[in-house]
Structure 1
Amino acid sequence: INIIDTPGHIDFTAEVQRSLRVLDGGVVVFDAVAGVEPQSETVWRQADEYNVPRICFVNKMDRTGADFSRTISMIRERLNGNPIPIQWPIGQESDFRGIVDLVTMQAYVWEDDDLGATAKVMDIPDDVRETVELAHHEMLELVADTDDELMAKYLDEDEISVDELRAALRKATVTGKATPVLCGTALRNKGVQRVLDAIVYYLPSPLDVPAVRATAPRTDEIVLRHPSDEEPLAALIFKIVTDPYVGKLAYFRVYSGVLKSGDSVMNTNKNRRERIGRILRMHADRREDVTEIHAGDIAATLGLKQTFTGDTLSDSNDPVVLEAIDFPEPVISLAIEPKSTKDQEKMGLALRALAEEDPTFQIRTDDQTGQTVLYGMGELHLEVLVDRMLREFKVMANVGRPSVAYRETITQKLEKVEGRFVRQSGGRGQFGHVVISMEPLEPGSGFVFENKIIGGVIPREYIAPVEEGIREAMSSGVLAGYPVVDLKVSLYDGSFHEVDSSEMAFKIAGSMAFKEGMQRGKPILLEPIMKLEVVAPEDNTGDVIGNLSANRGMIEGMEMRAGLQAVKALVPLAQMFGYATRLRSMTQGRGTFTMEFAHYAPVSDSIAKDILSGKR
């Protein structure tokens, strides 16, 4: 069994995203005191997107304020899940000492003196028997709701065996109809053993998972790859790690076929051949050399030169491209420079290595100042990356203050925008002429390019260069050089010269047309809006709400949670720098907050003027 641990902080959402892409099942861990937190909602939504079956583990049952039933209700209400408790706690808070398995109706009690190394299997204690029997019947009813055969036996009051119950639970979990819920306290090893059993009982093996869909690059047809060693190779690279001792490690999941050390395979995304070096099975504290990896398994390999996260490795005789991993765009930036000129090259190498590992980390150079600017998912994300640069690559750097990663877009539809590039300097010249239309799209739509050329007014070989020129121009908008998003460009007319036209000429013409359209399309600035949740004592709620409102926040709701007030709001990222200090002051250190990216929204005219004039 491959178990991948992912960080809970929202700044490291890429780790969750790429892991869910290649896993067959998940264990979602909840805090028994806090219940469903904002990070839980994000991870749950990501698991839904990838159709990953999951079980839940309610942790920290020994903490003051722990409430198993409340956490179950929150999973049902806030996550729209169908949680089915298959365990029940014996005791709660400091009295928590074990669990009852509602499937087998056996109790497991752990002693404190050996940190959960041994569990006593015993009859259900009298003080919880009535509650447990009620929970057992509720579990039977919930499971029966997902299975017609089991429902018939339940209604007829026939005996349902443990094997039948487990089979029905497994089927409901694999199909996404239900989520088994367990509990315990990981710190004291109470209940974690049963989680491992539940992974085996209820989560799918690679053979239970449907065939993956892939695209045949030669025909653009959809093909299926089944989890079988007999099928052609299809493997997805989902993580790159730079190791100081062995170099670049590429983690992969084999969906079909067998990958062997020494194989020559095709990187279908890059259309380049790669030779597989050593193959390593990764354990928590060691690596194991193996000669081959079979369908359904996960491992890492050394020696790949041109392969990065999201690339497909496949059989060169039967190539396919697997669905790539979608990562969110970064929303925060900071400028960085080496402390000495001798560190300039080292810093460049270090940043490139870190960017290879993390697809949500981007490096750009400011065209006007020549500064290196880092882009990431949040302040903590960039802090960790800068710290790694110092620790792992020994690069000393001066780091600027974090700033917002604004975007630009247009607000007006343009029917006709021309770009004409003509250059004559003796001999063969350059000629490219394009006519495009541009229109704004809904927030989050990204960029859409449509080729409407008919009759060959622009030859086919020049269409892709036009799109490439437009995409390059989008990296720097006309207002303040921010990337351009959320618009559609249609190429519908133009002309060419038999001798002077070239791919470069049409690339430049496409770029010229786009920049002209940006000038005429009433461009605006967009800013990242963050989804914020603040948890604070009820006495401080007024101050928290007042401060958020004063910082352009929009309050979305409030709820009581374990004696504290949780305030949900949408707030511009620009107003959130230093919020931890402000909240600490307002709540005397008793408040906490979590924040994640929600969407981009237009900046008001007055604030846009301040941004463009450099006041913000």
Structure 2
Amino acid sequence: MSADAAQAVEEGKIHVDEADLNRLEHLRNIGISAHIDSGKTTLTERILFYTGRIDAIHEVRGKDNVGAKMDSMELEREKGITIQSAATYCRWGERMSGSEIPREGARKPPLTTHTRAPSGHVDFTIEVERALRVLDGAVLVLCAVGGVQSQTITVDRQMKRYNVPRICFINKMDRSGANPWRVIDQLRQKLKLTAAAVQVPIGAEANLEGVADLVQWKAYYNEGPNGETIRVGEIPESVLPFARAKRAELIETLADADDEMAELFLGETDPTPTQLQEAIKRATVSLKFCPVFVGSAYHNKGVQPMLDGVANYLPAPHHVPNYALDTKNDEAKVLLSAATSASLVALAFKLEEGRFGQLTYLRVYQGIVRRGDWIYNARNGKRVKVSRLVRMHSNEMEDVESVGSGEICALFGVDCASGDTFTDGQVSYAMTSMFVPQPVISLSIEPKGKETGNFSKALNRFQREDPTFKVHVDADSKETIISGMGELHLEIYVERMKREYRVECVTGRPRVAFRETANKKVPFAYTHRKQTGGSGQFARITGYIEPIEVGEDGIGIEFADETVGTNVPPQFIPAIEKGFFEACDKGAITGHPVTGMRMALVDGQAHAVDSSDLAFRLATIGAFREAFLKANPIVLEPIMEVNLSAPSEYQVLYQATGVAC
């Protein structure tokens, strides 16, 4: 349990009764994230098989005409990539498939896991954002050869943004050149994680036989046609010296992250398996440590021990503090309870067009939602009825009567937006939504032939489902412009329009999302006057504009009211702010949006009759454009860091300054 959550329980701020504790202790909400082609979908397929959720293992690219369970979209199976995050749930430790690791002592109740497998491609990064926003833990999958790659760094940044504890699984240990120790060094150096292995491989590359667990001090071997049978044995003599060294390294690394382990380490006391396991969990949940597992999902090795790692080291829902904002109390932070007896607080984090209407994915943080309940949308106050409540298994649904705190479900027939908070009407809480990155590329698009209603219908649906997919009509050319996170992102939507709506489209050349900014502070004094008798327009504003640092979202525009007195009546301040943001929508050089600018309003003047919201808005637009042109304006191009990986056989060619095409 995290320090915040533990303190809240001790102080009585969170009340969770025994029934809730028994349910929550055996519940994990996890995501499986990775750089593309690290084996994330293959790993998920094995998890579903070993937990008895599916009866057979299928190929990721659909070579067996079935495809991976979590890649339900036809395009995903054709291209071999995950486009949309999929949700499922499974139970580990129920002996449904006979795949779990034999354990000594009393048998624990089965662990229920709600799993989301978001895309590993940078173009679909929003799928990772909204998955991590509602999850309590994650499995970061890495390739034993590729190691930390570009999207790994992006996913790590997203996990840190939402304070999501993670374990790492170094996959593809069967590949030639596999080196988990190099990958762990990259985790420490590139991602700045306090990481250490909790397993060492038995064998290497094509001779990978199993894994040696450094906590339980046992060897695990997968047997059977699909590795479904686990044989437990002693760590082989050939691995013992190396395993002892890595266990010592694990304890020393853990001592830097956990006080109790530090005491044992300084006292030169060898920790018991239970002490080591508890220390790893404490340090992992508090974001101070990352345990690393190894294996090969494709060759069915090491997956079940990793599942035990999910159960042993990742937090249950009530171990993670979650907060809402009280809209009737200056948006003060309120610590939510994981009790089903508390008032309902739930977050709609994803929308999807289903066969029976809009499907709304919901994470319940507090209280309980039942079929037939009336719930309230905190954003607009609308009261809606829960007509159907389901749990998702990829594209399949299972109807349920109720879903308690800490669980993930989906609703049908609820009109809402992504990021909306639902309550039972007893509290005035709202939750913060996920981070949405700005689009980086645009295309003009039009239907081939006569336009039909399906064209607009498809664009509206895709915008509603994907916050990073934007549509607007260019004011000058009157063209429909679609914007997204990359060419593949937009290509997928164009292809989906053809397949799902039977609308073939013609697209223009890609347009890079330029921005404008200025690099000098400039004062302004601007008067907007249109007085020709009768009702006119008058507004005068003074102040300055200056460059500022651009935030991670790439927007970086701020407005500051620095007025003293009432020369500018307070009722006109919102119109001035609106005028500033409107002026920033279209820069003065190329017409691209302005970023990295701050406008400060210092003083002004109003007319008793002729001043209005419109007059001050127009004055602000004129003042900004005039000052912006004097502030050394420049055009910004998007830049990115590119890492190129090439097979070792090309090294001689590169040394000779050759070019590989």
Bin of the TM-score, shorter chain as denominator length:
0.7 to 0.9
Counterpart in 1 of 2:125? 13
Distance 1:491 1:97, change over 3 A: same
Q: 1:58 aligns with which of 155, 170, 174?
A: 170
Q: Higher strand fraction: Structure 1 or Structure 2?
A: 1
Q: 1:442 aligns with which of 545, 549, 563?
A: 549
Counterpart in 1 of 2:186? 74
Counterpart in 2 of 1:320? 429
CA distance in 2, matches of 1:25, 1:124: 30
CA distance in 1, matches of 2:394, 2:589: 49
- Retained in 1: the 8 A contact 2:544–2:601? yes
Counterpart in 2 of 1:526? 636
2:600 alignment partner, SS class:
strand
1:127 alignment partner, SS class:
coil
Within the alignment, does 1:30 sit opposite 2:138 as a pair? no
CA distance in 1, matches of 2:375, 2:564: 39
Q: 2:363 aligns with which of 246, 253, 257?
A: 253
Amino acid of the structure 2 residue aligned with 1:586: V
Counterpart in 2 of 1:235? 346
Within the alignment, does 1:386 sit opposite 2:494 as a pair? yes
Within the alignment, does 1:338 sit opposite 2:447 as a pair? yes
- Retained in 2: the 8 A contact 1:421–1:508? no
Distance 1:298 1:536, change over 3 A: same
- Extract unaligned runs of 5+ from structure 2: 1-112
CA distance in 2, matches of 1:139, 1:242: 47
- Extract unaligned runs of 5+ from structure 1: 548-584, 589-616
Q: 2:300 aligns with which of 185, 189, 195?
A: 189
Instruction: Write out aligned runs for 1:246-325 (5 A).
Output: 246-270=356-380, 272-305=382-415, 307-325=416-434
Counterpart in 2 of 1:133? 244
Amino acid of the structure 2 residue aligned with 1:309: S
Counterpart in 2 of 1:474? 584
Deviations 1:375-423 (A, max 9, x none): 1111111111221222222211001121211011223322124252647
Counterpart in 2 of 1:88? 200
Counterpart in 2 of 1:554? none
Distance 1:321 1:436, change over 3 A: farther
Q: CA RMSD in A?
A: 2.7
CA distance in 2, matches of 1:130, 1:433: 80
State the structure with bigger RCO (CA 8 A, min sep 6), 1 or 2: 2
Amino acid of the structure 2 residue aligned with 1:359: P
CA distance in 1, matches of 2:582, 2:408: 36
- Retained in 1: the 8 A contact 2:325–2:331? no
Distance 1:481 1:155, change over 3 A: closer
CA distance in 2, matches of 1:155, 1:520: 64
- Retained in 2: the 8 A contact 1:436–1:513? no
Instruction: Write out aligned runs for 1:110-129 (5 A).
Output: 110-111=222-223, 114-129=225-240
- Retained in 1: the 8 A contact 2:169–2:293? yes
Distance 1:131 1:535, change over 3 A: same
Distance 1:317 1:497, change over 3 A: farther
- CA shift at 1:459, angstroms? 3.3
Counterpart in 2 of 1:456? 566
Counterpart in 2 of 1:223? 334
CA distance in 2, matches of 1:70, 1:438: 49
CA distance in 1, matches of 2:516, 2:261: 57
Distance 1:517 1:154, change over 3 A: closer
Deviations 1:153-182 (A, max 9, x none): 345454533222211110010011111111
Amino acid of the structure 2 residue aligned with 1:364: H
- CA shift at 1:271, angstroms? 5.1
Distance 1:510 1:25, change over 3 A: same
Pairs aligned (count)? 546
Counterpart in 2 of 1:509? 619
Distance 1:316 1:499, change over 3 A: farther
Distance 1:425 1:378, change over 3 A: farther
CA distance in 2, matches of 1:301, 1:419: 53
Distance 1:339 1:21, change over 3 A: same
CA distance in 1, matches of 2:600, 2:640: 32
Within the alignment, does 1:356 sit opposite 2:464 as a pair? yes
CA distance in 2, matches of 1:291, 1:454: 58
Counterpart in 2 of 1:586? 659
1:336 alignment partner, SS class:
strand
Distance 1:136 1:393, change over 3 A: same
CA distance in 2, matches of 1:359, 1:333: 15
Instruction: Write out aligned runs for 1:163-174 (5 A).
Output: 163-174=274-285
Counterpart in 2 of 1:401? 509
1:4 alignment partner, SS class:
strand
CA distance in 2, matches of 1:329, 1:134: 47
CA distance in 2, matches of 1:347, 1:15: 24
Deviations 1:575-607 (A, max 9, x none): xxxxxxxxxx9325xxxxxxxxxxxxxxxxxxx
Bigger mean CA deviation after superposition, 443-452 or 154-163: 154-163
- CA shift at 1:121, angstroms? 1.4
- CA shift at 1:327, angstroms? 1.8
Deviations 1:338-369 (A, max 9, x none): 112333x3222211211111111211221111
Distance 1:311 1:516, change over 3 A: farther
Bigger mean CA deviation after superposition, 122-131 or 200-209: 122-131
Bigger mean CA deviation after superposition, 441-450 or 74-83: 441-450
CA distance in 1, matches of 2:639, 2:654: 18
Distance 1:277 1:474, change over 3 A: farther
Amino acid of the structure 2 residue aligned with 1:227: A
Amino acid of the structure 1 residue aligned with 2:367: G
CA distance in 1, matches of 2:656, 2:542: 51
Amino acid of the structure 2 residue aligned with 1:513: A
- CA shift at 1:463, angstroms? 2.0
- Retained in 2: the 8 A contact 1:214–1:225? no
CA distance in 2, matches of 1:537, 1:459: 67
1:518 alignment partner, SS class:
helix
2:637 alignment partner, SS class:
strand
- Retained in 2: the 8 A contact 1:540–1:586? no
Q: Percent identity?
A: 39
Bigger mean CA deviation after superposition, 212-221 or 475-484: 212-221
Amino acid of the structure 2 residue aligned with 1:489: M
